Amino acid sequence: MIIKTLNKDWVKLSNLAWKVRENAFIYGKTKVGAAVLTKRKKYYAGCNIEHKYRSHDIHAEVNAISTMVSKGDKEIDKILIVAERDFFTPCGSCMDWIMQFSSDKTIVGFQNAKKGGIVVFGIHDLMPFYPK
């Protein structure tokens, strides 16, 4: 589903993710930003940080989640990933992190342009056979 009219939570997630995306440290082509809204209504953000040898890259989703955990939050309500790509979803490793800190109601969104629509998925849409 694509959300074109954004509520205040998605607007704030979008603003945070696009802002932090500017801090991405990359060797490749794609800057990525991510923002998390927790069940306690707190927001956290992170960008991708690529390693010189690419063996220790930190994905934006993991950066945002680790910031969330370091601040004492443990449950994701929504996560938004932003990148200037036609279509983008979290990789399997990032989905593992998202699943670890999610409920069955967690929503994952993707936005490919500032102020653009957001494509949203339930976590089980992206990982339908993930073990419980």
pLDDT of residue 22: 98
Q: Kindly state the percentage of the chain with pLDDT values over 90.
A: 85
Distance CA 10, CA 5 (A): 9
Q: What architecture does CATH give domain 2-126?
A: 3-Layer(aba) Sandwich (3.40)
Cβ atoms of 89 and 121 closer than 8 Å: yes
Asked which of 8-12, 50-54, 95-99 is least confident by mean pLDDT, the reply is 50-54
pLDDT, average across residues 69-95? 95
Mean pLDDT score across all residues of the chain: 94
pLDDT of residue 1: 67
pLDDT exceeds cutoff 80 at 4: no
pLDDT exceeds cutoff 80 at 132: no
> Residues 5-40: pLDDT tens digits?
779 999 999 999 999 999 999 999 999 999 999 999
Which residues are within 8 A (CB) of 105 and not within 5 positions of it... i.e. 6 or more apart? Answer: 77, 122
Q: Where are the domains of the chain?
A: 2-126
Positive or negative CA dihedral for 49, 104, 69, 11?
Answer: positive
More confident residue, 129 or 102: 102
Phi first, then psi: give them for residue 106, nearest 5 degrees: -65, 140
Catalytic residues: 61
pLDDT of residue 32: 98
pLDDT of residue 3: 67
SS3 102: strand
